[in-house]
Structure 1
């Protein structure tokens, strides 16, 4: 479901299936998850406040490795069901902390809510005031039509936050393609040409930075107004004194 920074639905959209399957076939300290010969069906909760789950895998246990607190099994994917992976959404209200359940105990409470025409993708632009994404999420959504349209049509002031130490960087965008173009520059090298961010390794930025939008302006807004607002945010958030803004 979710464990700290480990969010399976985001990992699914990023095609990080190896990590998800490791979790699916993990053995915990006290009880084994499966037995040889059993069929396993894997679901990911789509949102923490909803009872909707996405099918991501169906497999069969071929060998018990007798490993505790680690990946405990060898398995084979049941390929005849692969066409449904990432497409079937099940409605199920979970009432237990145990995430490994026998089908007979929950099957009557499961309902197929939807069979998607294609692989699950909910990357619609959420609104300027709701943007708060990681670097990896930014690298994915920047190619989506709704995001490209929204970001290239607004000038604005944005915020970059380092989640390890709370340091912030305030920037503005008002040139060609506006916010879209500015954020694309962060995907190339992580720093977008900014002095303080150049001191950081690209991998560090990928692992720890989040991107959000503080203010938006019409494309006709004079850039002096945007720069003034950018400076106001720098003063308010103290990003020059405690953050990554050099000026």
Structure 2
């Protein structure tokens, strides 16, 4: 039996609220924004289009929880205390309110969005919103899935690394391994490895920070198209991992094996050697 949202978030006057259904804006996912920078997330709730969509006193802010269709993460309640709409300074002046503050980033809500609209009247949809899950801690990116299940888009890993998720960090710092970066746009692959004293976490951090990790062919791609290209098209998969005490020569040999197996050299891939 589903639990109505009102059980955990009891709003007495829903007719005074608009709901902000924050979702992909063509540049960023709000879920990633929420994890990496709360000030930036606050800005998402103060941005105003020319329509004055949030024309009620309060905004109930929900974040598209894109790993689970139909699920939204509670992003807080804001009071609109001012509006601007001149030239290029369209914005709302908003302040967060105390109600539900302990649920921000923890409360997941099941709700089927009516089309692609970003602002709806809460009183029309409040009864149709239900609790999906209440997380023990504020959401800080995808949970570590186990070494055998690491195959994630660049954008997802960017969120994980920017949040320094301890489950991922402790796991990847302690192993060496071989991985493949797949470019979904070109179909080409780059096989790389992490060895020495740094572990996979350190090596992948270089990719997340730059988009290319210093590899010649990837540098060329990112130099021409920017790191947003990596966010949109790169997917990183861990092919195999070994304990940190493993001799580096073993890792290098396995890297060579995977380059052959996946045809990542020459016109089919992004490896030069």
| Cα shift readout 1:47-68 (whole Å, capped 9, x = no counterpart) | 443544222242316236289x
Q: Aligned match of 2:179 in 121, 143, 158?
A: 158
Q: Residue 76 of structure 1 aligns with which residue?
A: 94
Match of 1:234 among 259, 262, 268: 259
SS class of match (1:182) = helix
Matched, 1:102 2:109: no
Output the TM-score relative to the length of structure 2. 0.68
2:242 corresponding residue in structure 1: 217
Structure 1 contact 27–71 (Cα < 8 Å) conserved: no
Cross-structure match for 1:125: 144
CA contact (8 A) 1:23 1:71 kept: no
Is the aligned partner of 1:13 residue 2:47? Answer: no
**Residues 213/7 of structure 1: CA separation in 2 closer, same or farther (3 Å cut):** same
CA distance in 1, matches of 2:45, 2:180: 33
Q: Count matched residues.
A: 241
CA contact (8 A) 1:154 1:219 kept: yes
CA distance change for structure 1 residues 124 and 131 in 2, over 3 Å: closer, same or farther? same
Structure 1 CA distance, aligned partners of 2:41 and 2:216?
35
Instruction: Indicate the RMSD between aligned Cα atoms, in angstroms.
Output: 3.7
What is the distance in 1 between the residues matched to 2:97 and 2:224?
Answer: 35
5+ residue gaps in structure 1? none
Indicate conservation of the 8 Å contact 1:90/1:110, yes or no: no
Partner of 1:168: 189
How far apart, CA to CA, are the structure 2 residues paired with 1:118 and 1:84?
Answer: 10
Cα pair distance change 1:61/1:96, threshold 3 Å: farther
User: Are 2:188 and 2:264, in contact at CA under 8 Å, matched by a contact in 1?
Assistant: yes
When normalised by structure 1's length, the TM-score is 0.74
1:157·1:170 contact (CA, 8 Å) conserved in 2? yes
**Unmatched tracts of structure 2, length 5 or more:** 1-22
